[in-house]
Structure 1
Amino acid sequence: MSHTRTALVTIAAAALAATALATGAGTATAAPASETEKCTSGTFYSQDQYSKVNARFCVKTIRNGNGTYDIQPYIVGDPYYYKTLGWFSDGGNGTTASSYPIMYVDNITAVNNGRQVSSGSYTDKADGGELYLSAPRTRVASGTYKVTFTGVVKNRGYWASVTGGQPESYLVKMGTHTVEGTIP
């Protein structure tokens, strides 16, 4: 690097540092981002109890480096089917993509300090294992939040592919769940 270029880089760095100090930006370093989560969970069965889902309904609270907070609702479901003498992980029958279990939620609504801040419906397909649905991260203010998961359902899976479509064997309705918390 030439002496002229080095001098220009040094001058630019000094100018940025002076601006940061003048605006107060250089007086403290940003705190590292951190995460916590709150969950509620349960086991849910199809009508004839030949399928089940062990599900967790969670809200991840993310403290950003600049001190603001986001929340990210998500659902994790482990689908199973019962056959002969035991429960097996439900990844479908493995012959067609349409046999893979799917999970959907009619609505995930986030309310912060009494004001709705996000809402949406989501779907996920398991390719032979865990089902995972996630809503986008949403910026929230200090105070309380309440996230409601409405109309959560596991559809398809092993019994859908071998019973000729008897929903009482593969459809698992998980109902409505709420997770509440406080942002400092």
Structure 2
Amino acid sequence: MTNLAGRLALPAVLAALGVATFGLPATAGAAQAAAAAPYSVCQTSDNSTTTYKSKDTYSKVNIRFCAEIAEADDGSRTLQPYISADAFYYWGLAWYEDNGKRGADRKSSYISFDSAEVTGADGAKLWKEGKTTRYNKGDTGHIEYLGQKIPVTAGTYKLDFTEVYKGGGYWDHTGEETEHDSWYIGIGDQSLSVTLT
């Protein structure tokens, strides 16, 4: 911020010294305020992940349910629901990223939910999305879901994700019901409250 203030004052200093400023603004007031950097509000106070495991503990997912708050140059704000997750499988006394690429018959890891919605303080539904599935990215076990950016003002907003689960991955390769305990991770319904001032 100091460098920005110094640059904004430079034309006035140069003009006082008789140096041409070639159209640079003469005062700091001519510059517009920059928008604040986007920030996240998550379920945990420190924005950390929560770990969930499959029934037999051979698969796990570290997951965060959050909202990104962004402010435009004009002061307007948006709220964007998102899920960030990292999937892993256990084999031979170690955990590995569950990218679904450890053999030709393996399946990609994914996060799925039945619905997601944002509700305002007055109970009005501002946005809703139905059944959605997102797969891991590339050679990693990282899975990401980004919802719609919703215009918001000061107030409290509630985000709800219903029937969330992690599926697929290393242990989901034969389709046998017995392996369900190894790759399916029930995460359940998840909620988050965001208060903006």
For residue 61 of structure 1, what is the aligned residue in structure 2?
69
1:98 CA drift (Å): 6.2
User: Residue 106 of structure 1: which of 106, 111, 114 is its match?
Assistant: 114
**Offset of residue 163 of structure 1:** 7.2
TM-score normalised over the length of structure 1? 0.77
Closer/same/farther in 2, CA of residues 84 and 163 from structure 1, 3 Å limit:
farther
Deviation at 1:164, TM superposition (A): 4.3
Q: Does residue 196 of structure 2 align to residue 183 of structure 1? A: yes
- 1:94–1:82 Cα change, 3 Å: closer
Percent of matched pairs sharing the same residue: 30
Corresponding residue number in structure 1 for 2:181: 168
Cα deviation for residue 28 of structure 1 reads: 7.8
**How many pairs does the alignment contain?**
159
Query: Secondary structure, in 3 states, of the residue corresponding to 2:73?
Result: coil
- 1:34 counterpart (21, 24, 37): 37
Task: Please name the residue that 1:142 is paired with.
Answer: 154
User: 1:128 is matched with which residue: 130, 139, 147?
Assistant: 139
CA RMSD of aligned residues (A): 2.2
Cα offsets for 1:117-163 (capped at 9, x unmatched): 01113221113320101111111222111111211111110000267
Kindly indicate which of the two structures has a greater share of residues assigned to strand.
Answer: 1
With over 3 angstroms needed to count, the CA separation of the structure-2 counterparts of 1:118 and 1:97, relative to structure 1, is farther
User: 1:33, CA displacement in angstroms?
Assistant: 4.7
Q: Which amino acid aligns with 1:120?
A: E
Q: 1:97 to 1:85 in 2, by over 3 A?
A: closer
Q: Which residue of 2 aligns with 1:70?
A: 78
Unpaired runs of 5+ residues, structure 2, are 1-28, 44-48
Q: 2:99 aligns with which of 91, 95, 105?
A: 91
CA distance in 2, matches of 1:87, 1:67: 45
> Whole-Å Cα distance in 1 between the matches of residues 67 and 113 of structure 2?
15
Higher helix proportion (structure 1 or 2): 1
1:178–1:97 Cα change, 3 Å = farther
Distance in 1 (CA, whole Å) between partners of 2:115 and 2:92 is 36
Match of 1:51 among 44, 59, 66: 59
Amino acid at match of 1:83: W
Stretches of structure 1 that go unaligned for 5 or more consecutive residues are 1-25
Cα offsets for 1:34-66 (capped at 9, x unmatched): 311111231111111111100011111111221
